[in-house]
Amino acid sequence: MNIQTITQINSFLAAFVLLTAFGMLAQKKINSLIHLFTWQGLFLSINTAIVGYVAGRHHLYISSVLTLALKVILLPYILHLLIARLKIRKDVETIVNIPATMLIGIALVIFSYHLTAPVRELSTFITRSTLAIALATVMIGLLMMITRKHAVTQIIGFLAMENGLFFAATSATYGMPLVVELGVALDVLIAAFIFGMFFFQIHTTFDSLDVDQMARLKEES
């Protein structure tokens, strides 16, 4: 494969990552949301492997496999298990004003394009143009955490943000050192377990995972 084809596949995968990010922003059903998250992880994993191949950084293969195992298999499995246990598989979240959220998302993409312009000028990596998309994915994940009310979707937003960060590291510097990546992967895994426990707690206390309910936590006066 020549460099041009690889650049092309790379930018396609980047575009898909952005697409799944937007899809998650608009998706109301928790079940489909987890599917989208799985797809994003898959695109990310393939992208990492390709970058590893073209840059000759073999540790990226390991992080690619790690991404595959963690974000495509394990985390979606845990999330599915969780929503099955909590009996919220069919839950449909009410999102206020999807088109407006989408417009904010587009604005965020433009903003991150503008923000990464200096890096793009200086960098010589073939992945430099995907940096803007990586940053946009982080921001869209953040936006999702802000706009959603359901605890599970907020966590998926958080995980999508982590995806974006990982993507940014791959495209800006051909990945972080392996030790750091291993550490982050472990952190995410532990975080998922802790979230799971919290969900059970919240669910038993409030009988709902809507975080608005937590306003009831105020002291009686």
Partner 1 sequence: MAGFIIEILQIALVIGLAPIFAGWVKMLKCWSQGRSSPSILQPYRNLLKLFSKDIILAENASWIFRFTPYLVFGTGVLVSAIIPLLSTDLPLALTADVIVLVSLFAIARFFTALAGMDIGTAFGGMGSSREMMIASISEPAMLMAIFTVSLSCGSTSLSRIVEVIYSPASVIKPSLAFAFIAFVLITLAETGRVPVDNPATHLELTMVHEAMILEYSGRHLALIEWAGMMKLFLFISLGVALFAPVGIAVSTNPAGIPLAFVYLSLKLGFSGIVIVLIETGLAKMRLFRLTEFLGAAFLMATLGMLSFFMLE
- List residues near partner 1 by CB under 8 A: 4, 8, 11-12, 14-15, 18-19, 22, 26, 98-99, 102, 105-106, 109-110, 113, 129-130, 132-133
In terms of CB distance, is 73 or 110 closer to partner 1? 110
Shortest distance in whole angstroms from residue 105 CB to partner 1:
8
Which residues neighbour 211 within 8 Å (Cβ) at sequence distance 6 or greater?
149, 150, 151, 154
In terms of CB distance, is 19 or 69 closer to partner 1? 19
| Amino acid letter for position 67 | T
In terms of CB distance, is 14 or 82 closer to partner 1? 14
* Vertex 104: Cα angle to 15 and 168 (nearest 5): 40
Shortest distance in whole angstroms from residue 119 CB to partner 1:
12
> What are the backbone dihedrals phi and psi of residue 92, each rounded to the nearest 5 degrees, phi first?
-115, 125
| Amino acid letter for position 182 | L
3-state secondary structure of 80: helix
Shortest distance in whole angstroms from residue 109 CB to partner 1:
5
Which residues neighbour 107 within 8 Å (Cβ) at sequence distance 6 or greater?
none
In terms of CB distance, is 11 or 213 closer to partner 1? 11
Shortest distance in whole angstroms from residue 120 CB to partner 1:
9
The token pair that represents 54 in the structure block: 């073209």
